């Protein structure tokens, strides 16, 4: 094993796959000459050249459309958005073209493309740069949505996404690019749609994904001091999500807390809550508890932002609530 940063895991995954398959290329703003806005494509221009690592104008709709069209001529593009907030400019291409090409062509064309970049908040960046869109894209048939939380998962899942014959939304975090973690020295690929139990427990199941899952680890450490054992499941893939892993855990612990960095209406935690109450209602000893951001645009003020974004104390409150403890 070796220890690398999250950004290095992303770069390694893309570079290894581009060495393996010449139809893969990277396109986006500042991915080439600047080595990526977050240095996630450092050194790739030098290795692969300007025909396979392509700087684009600030035109998300345009370069998303070019990349999607190129899949129909045998290419497998990776499109980087500087932030998924900017993907809204090109969302028509993602929703109405990438997600529907296979069906609308009667299976004549696949759309093997990866859209990747940071999602959700990254500090004081204001309301229009702090949004989590995982549930938006996951709501669309034809798209797969991956949100890793560490370098190991990021590398293995990005390689799987690049090899997939369907469009994949791969969401990262600006606040995780510097995170370090162990990854294998050799080749490995992780399956899409399989969750990972990050911590075994017996009293309550906590489901989360992406950078916000770090708050569940802090909460679990504190709760353990009080004799409460938390089982933490990292979804890793939002669509398709690992329903069986969640049900198995809930049937063991009989309690469920879901932590998600998104607005509370119609999100991933809502979907999981409905699924569990429909398929494991008799196993629940308490109502399901969801933890989300406040139902407002993200504030710029640091004091207000701290109130808006969930943290480990919110997780502790939620766990104690389903445990009927104060």
CA-CA distance, 256 to 206, in Å (whole number)?
6
CA-CA distance, 223 to 316, in Å (whole number)?
7
CA-CA distance, 289 to 304, in Å (whole number)?
23
For residue 243, give the 3-state DSSP assignment: helix
Q: How far is CA 300 from the centre of its chain?
A: 23
Q: Is the pTM of this model over 0.95?
A: yes
For residue 53, give the 3-state DSSP assignment: strand
Quick one: CA torsion of 216, 116, 185, 153, rounded to 10 degrees? 30
CA-CA distance, 160 to 4, in Å (whole number)?
19
CA-CA distance, 180 to 33, in Å (whole number)?
25
What pLDDT is recorded for position 293? Answer: 97
What pLDDT is recorded for position 213? Answer: 98
CA-CA distance, 54 to 56, in Å (whole number)?
6
What pairing do the DSSP bridges indicate for beta strands 230-234 and 196-199? antiparallel
What pLDDT is recorded for position 172? Answer: 97
Angle ∠(123,128,131) on CA atoms, nearest 5: 65
CA-CA distance, 161 to 165, in Å (whole number)?
8
What pLDDT is recorded for position 326? Answer: 78
For residue 231, give the 3-state DSSP assignment: strand
What pLDDT is recorded for position 265? Answer: 96
Below-50 pLDDT ranges, the chain: none
What pLDDT is recorded for position 298? Answer: 97
What pLDDT is recorded for position 171? Answer: 98
Q: Residue 309's closest CA among 173, 132, 149?
A: 132
Return the active site residues: 60, 129
Q: Which residue's entry shows tokens 């009080």? A: 226
Q: Residue 262's closest CA among 84, 120, 83?
A: 120
Structure tokens at 48: 């692969």
């Amino acid at each position: 094993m070796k220890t690398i940063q999250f950004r290095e895991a992303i770069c390694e995954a893309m570079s290894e796959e581009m060495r393996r398959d010449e139809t893969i290329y990277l396109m986006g703003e500042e991915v080439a000459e600047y080595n990526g806005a977050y240095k996630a494509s450092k050194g790739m221009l030098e290795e692969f050249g300007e025909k396979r690592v392509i700087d684009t104008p600030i035109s998300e709709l345009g370069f998303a459309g070019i990349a999607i069209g190129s899949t129909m001529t045998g290419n497998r593009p990776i499109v980087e958005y500087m932030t998924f907030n900017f993907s809204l400019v090109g969302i028509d291409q993602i929703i109405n073209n990438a997600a529907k090409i296979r069906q609308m062509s009667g299976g004549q064309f696949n759309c093997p493309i990866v859209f990747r970049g940071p999602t959700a908040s990254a500090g004081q960046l204001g309301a229009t740069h702090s949004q989590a869109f995982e549930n938006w894209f996951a709501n669309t048939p034809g798209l797969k949505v991956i949100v890793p939380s560490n370098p190991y998962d990021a590398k293995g899942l990005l390689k799987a996404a690049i090899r997939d014959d369907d469009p994949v939304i791969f969401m990262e975090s600006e606040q995780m690019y510097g995170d370090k973690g162990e990854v294998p020295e050799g080749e490995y690929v992780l399956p899409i749609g399989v969750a990972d139990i990050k911590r075994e427990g017996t009293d309550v199941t906590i489901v989360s994904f992406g950078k916000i899952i770090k708050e569940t680890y802090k909460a679990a450490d504190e709760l353990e001091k009080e004799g409460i054992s938390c089982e933490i499941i990292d979804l890793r893939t939002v669509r398709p999500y690992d329903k069986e892993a969640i049900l198995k855990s809930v049937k063991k612990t009989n309690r469920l807390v879901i932590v998600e960095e998104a607005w509370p209406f119609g999100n991933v935690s809502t979907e999981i809550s409905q699924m569990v109450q429909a398929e494991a209602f008799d196993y629940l000893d308490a109502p399901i508890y969801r933890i989300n951001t406040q139902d407002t645009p993200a504030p710029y003020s640091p004091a207000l932002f701290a109130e808006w974004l969930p943290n480990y104390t919110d997780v502790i409150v939620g766990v104690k609530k389903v445990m009927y403890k104060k």
